[in-house]
A and B are shown apart, each in its own frame.
Chain A
Amino acid sequence: NAGVTQTPKFRILKIGQSMTLQCTQDMNHNYMYWYRQDPGMGLKLIYYSVGAGITDKGEVPNGYNVSRSTTEDFPLRLELAAPSQTSVYFCASSLDLSYNEQFFGPGTRLTVL
């Protein structure tokens, strides 16, 4: 099993550009999450999904969108990138919402200039 994979690993965007961060898991987990981690800070939940076709906002959803058309994939879309979105983005998946281990991807380091 590859676990949770994310692409790209690094990206530099200009203000106002858009991009999609890709996330795929091969563990057949129903639950998937997107977090951002700013330097010296904890992870903040952006969006999560409890299954294909079902998504919901987390703590910091503004400026982002998600979709979940399959169990495996959970892409995160940034529209109109802003410097405040410079961060490390982690995708994660789990068997259930809170009681089981969350497995994280290696992260995408995004810089918006």
Chain B
Amino acid sequence: RKEVEQDPGPFNVPEGATVAFNCTYSNSASQSFFWYRQDCRKEPKLLMSVYSSGNEDGRFTAQLNRASQYISLLIRDSKLSDSATYLCVVNEGTGRRALTFGSGTRLQVQP
């Protein structure tokens, strides 16, 4: 089983739509969680951290469910500029000194 799993997509949605991505992780000791955004042929950039209580940043909402070991990202009122690949990233805690990246979910917002 992969350590961090995501649906690769693509998710094709019209402008203005609401879209949600899920990501599951296998290590219950994982301590911190992030969503990164990666545009085509570019480097990943942090979109938002994911906190236990859930957090919101404008049109983006991230949730963490430790019991079921998944995190989610909700994008409301999708814009063309949201088209990108969204990477789920997990810090697996003690003994691991770096982050584990999912393969990403591709989003294509269409006019």
Q: Which residue of A lies closest to B98 (CB)?
A: A45
Report the stretch among A12-20, A67-75, A78-86, A101-109 that lies at the interface.
A101-109
Q: Which residue of B lies closest to A107 (CB)?
A: B43
Flag if B43 contacts A98 (CB, 8 Å): no
Q: Does B73 contact A (CB under 8 A)?
A: no
Flag if B97 contacts A56 (CB, 8 Å): yes
What A residues does B34 contact at CB under 8 A?
Answer: 101
What B residues does A99 contact at CB under 8 A?
Answer: 32, 91
Flag if B43 contacts A42 (CB, 8 Å): no
A40 to B6, CA, bound (A): 12
Q: How many residues of A contact B (CB 8 A)?
A: 22
Which interface class (under 10, 10 to 19, 20 to 34, 35 or more) fits B?
Answer: 20 to 34
Flag if B98 contacts A101 (CB, 8 Å): no
Given contacts A42-B87, A99-B32, contact A106 B97 (CB under 8 A): no
CB B40 to nearest CB in A, in angstroms, measures: 12
A14 to B97, CA, bound (A): 33
What B residues does A105 contact at CB under 8 A?
Answer: 43
Binding site for A on B (CB under 8 A): 4, 8, 31-32, 34, 42-46, 87, 91, 96-104
